Every structure is written in C-alpha cells, then in structure tokens.
C-alpha cells in the first residue's frame, strides 16, 4: 500500500482522510520524529494548504497533502475565514467558540437566515516533488448559521452550520450523511480522482 503524508495533527481530519482514501496508508505530522508546527500566515485557504504541503514535502519522501479549511459568514465580510481555527485563541473549547461566534452575529444584528448565510471551504494541496506535481483542490458547501448549537456529532463549527437543502446541522447528521456532502468530501473526491488518474492506487 502506497503512503501519503498529510500535513496535519488534527485527529478528526486525519480520520476523515483515512476513511475517504482507504487505498493508501495515511501518515501525518504525528508520525514525525520531532514536532513540526507549520504557520498559516497566507491570505487564502489555497495558499495556506500549499505552504503546509511544501513544508512537509521538504522533510519526507513521496506524495504529501495538506488542507486548510474554515467557515465564512458572508455578512461578516467572510469572517472568520482563514482564521477559523485561531480567531478565538487562547480559547480551545469549541462549544465556547461557537457561542462566541453566535454572539458576534447577534451583536451585528444578523437576525434572519438571509443575513446569516455562510459557507465552509476546504482546500487540499498535493505535492510530489519526484513527479513535479503541485495541485490544489477546493470544495465549498453553502448554508446558514443557526441560532443555537444543535447536535452532538462532528467537530468545530458543525453544531451551528446547516447546509442548504437540509433541515439539520452537520452535527445532527451521521458521519456518513455529513461525509456525503461536506466541503472536505468535495475536495477529497477531487483529490481521489487525481490520485487515481495518476496511478497512485
């Protein structure tokens, strides 16, 4: 089985990648001998993903992937966007962070679904220096921000995001339901097709 390196320490994301690309052995930053903290200072999801993939590709052999993803609220100028994972630091409790974002919407008088439009973005970069490959695949899911947290599944902002066309949040869906429509599923599906076309599995 071929190895693919994933530039992440996020166990939830690592698990999703393993489930969606079962044909390859997924290794992550957690498998490195020394800890590697890669900054996310680029202005877009795509460039952040590329930078992370390039950084790891300098340390390991073979194909490397990296993702950057987040939630953007349209009427907050797409906040938190690329800062989704860190705007609330040092707070780490996602229940608290979700409530902080809900309060921010209320403070900005965003009271109805039209005003609370949002979208999830997932950009996945793939680099294989030996084959001179450098690509980025992006998936987007549009929806609205709910008025309270709902559901017990998922992670991060899943409890407050309801995708268009559905009557429940990501966190109210089963893992299988979410994985059928999620932004990461879209980007990974594009990645899978690319890997297959280029004979990685």
Closest-CA residue to 24 (of 109, 128, 167, 106): 128
Which 3 state secondary structure label does DSSP give 169? coil
Mark residue 39 as left, alpha or beta (left: phi above 0; alpha: psi -120 to 50; beta: remaining).
beta
The 8-class DSSP code of residue 4 comes to E
Alpha carbon distance 141, 162 (integer Å)? 10
CA–CA separation, 53 vs 126, rounded Å?
A: 7
Is 68 catalytic? The answer is yes
Catalytic residue among 31, 41, 68, 158: 68
Q: Tell me how far apart the alpha carbons of residues 145 and 161 are, in angstroms, rounded to a whole number.
A: 5
Q: Residue 168: helix, strand or coil by DSSP?
A: coil
Catalytic residues: 68
């Amino acid at each position: 089985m071929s190895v693919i390196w994933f530039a992440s320490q996020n166990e939830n994301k690592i698990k999703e990648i393993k489930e969606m690309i079962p044909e390859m052995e997924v290794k992550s930053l957690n498998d490195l001998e020394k800890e590697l903290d890669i900054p996310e200072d680029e202005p877009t999801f795509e460039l952040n993903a590329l930078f992370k993939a390039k950084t790891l590709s300098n340390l390991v052999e073979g194909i490397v992937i990296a993702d950057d993803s987040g939630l953007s609220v349209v009427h907050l100028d797409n906040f938190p966007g690329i800062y989704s994972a860190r705007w609330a630091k040092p707070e780490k409790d996602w229940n608290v962070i979700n409530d902080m974002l809900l309060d921010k919407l209320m403070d900005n008088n965003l009271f109805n679904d039209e005003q609370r439009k949002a979208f999830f973005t997932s950009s996945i970069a793939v680099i294989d220096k030996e084959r001179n490959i450098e690509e980025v695949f992006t998936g987007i899911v549009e929806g609205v921000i709910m008025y309270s947290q709902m559901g017990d599944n998922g992670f991060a902002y899943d409890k407050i995001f309801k995708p268009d066309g559905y009557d429940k949040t990501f966190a109210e869906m089963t893992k299988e339901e979410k994985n059928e429509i999620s932004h990461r599923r879209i980007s990974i599906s594009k990645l899978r097709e690319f890997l297959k076309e280029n004979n990685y599995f």
